[in-house]
Structure 1
Amino acid sequence: MRTSFQSGDYERADFIADSLKENEIYEEKDRVLYALEKGTINYFKGDYEQSVESFTNAEEYIDQFFSKSIKTGIGAFLSNDTQLNYNGEVYEDVYLNGFKSLGYLKMDDFQGAMVEARRITEKLEEAEQKYGEYATSMAESDTTDQNIKWEAGTSSIHASPLSHYIASALHAKAGEEDGARIEMDNLKEAIKNHQAMPDSKLKFDSSFAKVQRPDTYNTMLMAFCGSAPDKVNISINTDINRDGKGVKIAIPKLVMQPSSVSVIEAVVNDTMRTELKIIEEMDKVARETFEIKKPIIIARATIRGILKSVAQKGITDMVEDEYGEVAGSIAGFLGGRAREASEQADLRGWQTMPGKIYTNVIKLSAGKHDVTFNYYSSAGELLYSEARNITINERERLEPIASIYSN
């Protein structure tokens, strides 16, 4: 599915996603993932209504599964994480609203687009508190007496440049100058905030301010490139000792997928050339916000590891009492290997999520236009071109057009 999506064959990617669901590769516990993939695929396929519906489903499932895990308490963690309902990562919950906003904008629903744009930053602002309350709830339901430290992590990212960029444009097009100016000020602050992330390439470009002048544009160019970080399995030993040994647990680690794209250009009708500027580093926000949930992942894996260790010791003692010390040692060894093998990190994630977003606005005359997005490396090598077309009517307020190169 991911390969078909990256090659631009969205019809096949859509078919494969549905086949995976029909064959129960996507199980009930994977409903969030299926909805996220369908949302992205349908967006780039041009089915914006279905895309918004899929992302709305994903958002509702995330909320449902999150609430359910709180009610269940630590009992939900006694099985392997891969067997739990997947309730999404912070960044997945955030960026689905970005696609919903662009989807509503494509359908000329300015109010819907504004609501979703604001939700991006709202969720970033609320993430630490949300998971802090979650950790407190888990601590209250923890009766294992193992001194597990239940707490949420922190993130330096609490705003989204993309959110404020879209909101500024929508205010400007609605004739709300003050709103457009305030959102542009917020955009500048959000970019400063993002620049604190390691290796950030984000900076404020003068072209961003153009969205405050509604008469100068009617088309918003959006180009996505790269991919979200991959999740890989890592094993760590906690500092809680059982018989002189730390409890070995498995947790996911995010591995960045660097993009070779350095410059993106849009060519309209083979005559007008416009360079797009980077507005959001989704992959780096993913890496940063993952730290919020990480301590909770470690805590629940530790709880599970300890309980499995206790159960293993009980079986070992029973075998030793019945068959002798040697048999007990063998049972303990085999039980330890089985316990570690059964502990797997949850590597599920949004496979079609892009890594970066570039944008600019232009004014086009009424009629049909051919738009080619060109993706270049830092050396000036053309990596990929995608041709799109757009139709502008006489009274067009704001028409988005998007391209993606998932290199």
Structure 2
Amino acid sequence: MKYYLRILICAIVACIVVACAPTFYEKTFELNKALAEGNYDQAAVIMQQSEKKMSSGRLEFLYYVNAGMVASLQENFDQSNQYFQKADLFVEDHKKNVFEEGGALLLNPNLTTYPGEDHEKLMINYFKALNYLEMRQYNEALVECKRMNLRLQQLSDKYKSDKKYKKDAFIHVMMGIIYEAFNDPNNAFIAYRNALDIYQNEYAALFNTPVPQQLKLDLVRTAQETGLYDDAARYSKQFKLEVGKDESYANLVLLWNNGMSPVKDEWGVNFAVIQGKNGWVTFVNKELGMSFPFYCGNDKPTVTWVKAVFPKYVERKSFYKSAKLSDQDHTYLFSHAEDINAISFKVLEERMLLEFSKTLLRVAMKQSIAAKVSQENEGWGAALSILGSATESADTRSWQSLPKDISYVRVPLKEGQTSIDIELTNIKGGKEKRTIELPKFVKGETVVLPYYTLSSFAPQTASYGF
């Protein structure tokens, strides 16, 4: 047996440890459980325990974003932004490693450094901006706003098709909120107008997300504040709104981060191996209508079928389904603005053809090598074929501490007001009333606060298998 084949067999045997490992959600179950239960101190302990293992290497991105989330939930905003800044720098500096990519192609996709999904990278800037707004560091929040815009441009340049996720309406909404906090209604109006365009032309079709009612109100109001009265009249007519002059002492924008994002599971598909001519074989699954040809030369697989494993998102149901704010005079409803659950599914769906191709190429290469070994030793070839199948595993890594969706509302504040009530409605229709304490504020200020309800149910992974 040739020397390189011996090395390959040893590598595949070593890789079994990786392939037989549980999914990333199962590995991080205790962290997810602590977050869903609101036990943020326990979540912080778990992150501290995993720092040495995760903070460098293939899980670096996920360590920084999860540590940043936990620190923010504990109201350690400065520390949180230190973690998010490291995640941001990681995204900017990350380049594919040729050796990792080779190992992933030949053995297992989990051998690569996780780079973060497109929407996960945008969320870094969202949470950094939230932290700065909590600390009343408006200049820094504005810088983050500009970074959001740059990252949106990069995302738009990355894809040509209008059917792909390449624009984020909510990030434009967040930019508008930041500009308003910075007392810049002109740029806020521009950001809101951009958001409206994306909601109408992309989000409605891709994610079934309509234009938020709050955005309609903010568009008319900021148009009035900047003297764009024709625009204000046009949007008022379009949305059938009557928006008077804002005469409130101050305003609160509350961003409700609800539930937890979906997690990746793996699912397997059996493919028949159809022998062709001139060194070609075709992997076929008639039920799913899939057919992938590969050239194997003289080393065509001797097996008649193979199993390939792919990643798939699984939803986590949220415990709370709606919320509203109230004071002594009025009730204010939240507007749904970002469906991270739907975006996650869409992002993975967009690259599934690539996932299929890469996975089946890896399977074909393993079986071809097994066939090559069989020419010299049939027993070793059969063992290598079995090992090749055993090492198949999907990449189930993702930023799991993200919320499932984001809603927001803008409410007027009275001078000296110290709190506001929020009423949450759970999936069974039960009502829970809580009080949100407000920071001190001055006349004309826009106070921006997040509110988190991460309570959610475990993913029903069994129903997603094939």
Q: TM-score range by the shorter chain?
A: 0.7 to 0.9
User: In the TM superposition, what whole-angstrom CA distance separates every residue of 1:314-368 from its partner, at most 9, and x where no partner exists?
Assistant: 2222213xxxxxxx4xx54443332111111111111211011111112323546
Are residues 1:313 and 2:398 paired? no
Is residue 157–residue 194 contact of structure 1 (8 Å, CA) maintained in 2? no
Q: Which residue of 1 aligns with 2:135?
A: 107
Q: Which residue of 2 aligns with 1:373?
A: 422
Report the secondary structure of 2:205's partner residue. Answer: coil
Shift of 1:173: 4.6
Q: 1:300 to 1:63 in 2, by over 3 A?
A: farther
Q: 1:386 to 1:307 in 2, by over 3 A?
A: farther
Q: Distance in 2 between matches of 1:161 and 1:55?
A: 22
Q: 1:337 to 1:267 in 2, by over 3 A?
A: farther
Q: 1:154 to 1:165 in 2, by over 3 A?
A: closer
Report the secondary structure of 2:49's partner residue. Answer: helix
Of the candidates 237, 242, 266, which is equivalent to residue 325 of structure 2?
266
Q: Which residue of 2 aligns with 1:95?
A: 123
Are residues 1:81 and 2:109 paired? yes
Is residue 130–residue 449 contact of structure 2 (8 Å, CA) maintained in 1? no
Gap regions ≥5 residues in structure 1: 133-152, 321-327
Q: Which residue of 2 aligns with 1:141?
A: none
Structure 1 segments of 4+ aligned residues over 6 angstroms from their partners? none
Q: Which residue of 1 aligns with 2:361?
A: 303
Report the secondary structure of 1:363's partner residue. Answer: strand
TM-score by length of 2: 0.71
Q: Which one is further off, 47-56 or 68-77? A: 68-77
Report the secondary structure of 1:63's partner residue. Answer: helix
Report the secondary structure of 1:348's partner residue. Answer: coil
Is residue 264–residue 358 contact of structure 1 (8 Å, CA) maintained in 2? no
Shift of 1:18: 1.0
Q: Which residue of 2 aligns with 1:142?
A: none
Q: 1:387 to 1:177 in 2, by over 3 A?
A: closer
Gap regions ≥5 residues in structure 2: 1-30, 226-245, 272-282, 284-291, 295-299, 457-466
Are residues 1:160 and 2:168 paired? yes
Q: 1:339 to 1:154 in 2, by over 3 A?
A: farther
Q: Distance in 2 between matches of 1:271 and 1:12?
A: 39
Counterpart of 2:70, as a letter, is I
Q: Which residue of 1 aligns with 2:204?
A: 195
Shift of 1:294: 3.5
User: In the TM superposition, what whole-angstrom CA distance separates every residue of 1:138-172 from its partner, at most 9, and x where no partner exists?
Assistant: xxxxxxxxxxxxxxx98533322322222223334
Report the secondary structure of 1:280's partner residue. Answer: strand
Q: Which residue of 2 aligns with 1:388?
A: 436
Is residue 180–residue 446 contact of structure 2 (8 Å, CA) maintained in 1? no
Q: 1:10 to 1:387 in 2, by over 3 A?
A: farther
Q: Distance in 1 between matches of 2:162 and 2:387?
A: 34
Q: RMSD of the alignment, in Å?
A: 3.1
Q: Distance in 2 between matches of 1:358 and 1:396?
A: 23
Shift of 1:309: 1.8
Q: What are the equivalent positions in structure 2 for 1:135-284 lying under 5 Å apart?
A: 155-192=163-200, 193-198=202-207, 200-206=208-214, 208-210=216-218, 212=222, 216=248, 217-236=250-269, 237=271, 238=283, 239-241=292-294, 242-243=300-301, 245=304, 248-259=307-318, 261-268=320-327, 273-284=331-342
Q: Distance in 2 between matches of 1:85 and 1:220?
A: 37
Q: Which residue of 2 aligns with 1:13?
A: 43
Q: Distance in 1 between matches of 2:305 and 2:151?
A: 36
Q: Which one is further off, 99-108 or 394-403? A: 394-403
Is residue 172–residue 180 contact of structure 1 (8 Å, CA) maintained in 2? yes
Rg comparison, structure with higher value: 2
User: In the TM superposition, what whole-angstrom CA distance separates every residue of 1:22-81 from its partner, at most 9, and x where no partner exists?
Assistant: 4x366632111111111111222211111222112112223333x133697646633422
TM-score by length of 1: 0.80
Is residue 203–residue 209 contact of structure 2 (8 Å, CA) maintained in 1? no
Of the candidates 59, 75, 78, which is equivalent to residue 49 of structure 1?
78
Shift of 1:404: 1.6
Shift of 1:177: 3.9
Q: 1:75 to 1:317 in 2, by over 3 A?
A: same
Counterpart of 2:323, as a letter, is I
Shift of 1:201: 4.3
Are residues 1:402 and 2:450 paired? yes
User: In the TM superposition, what whole-angstrom CA distance separates every residue of 1:111-154 from its partner, at most 9, and x where no partner exists?
Assistant: 4323434544654553375489xxxxxxxxxxxxxxxxxxxx98
Q: Distance in 2 between matches of 1:207 and 1:282?
A: 18
Q: Which one is further off, 309-318 or 9-18? A: 309-318
Q: 1:399 to 1:21 in 2, by over 3 A?
A: same
Q: Distance in 2 between matches of 1:170 and 1:252?
A: 36
Report the secondary structure of 2:58's partner residue. Answer: helix
Of the candidates 32, 45, 58, which is equivalent to residue 29 of structure 1?
58
Q: Distance in 2 between matches of 1:338 and 1:47?
A: 47
Q: Which residue of 1 aligns with 2:411?
A: 362
Is residue 214–residue 408 contact of structure 2 (8 Å, CA) maintained in 1? no
Q: Distance in 2 between matches of 1:361 and 1:54?
A: 29
Q: How many residues align?
A: 373
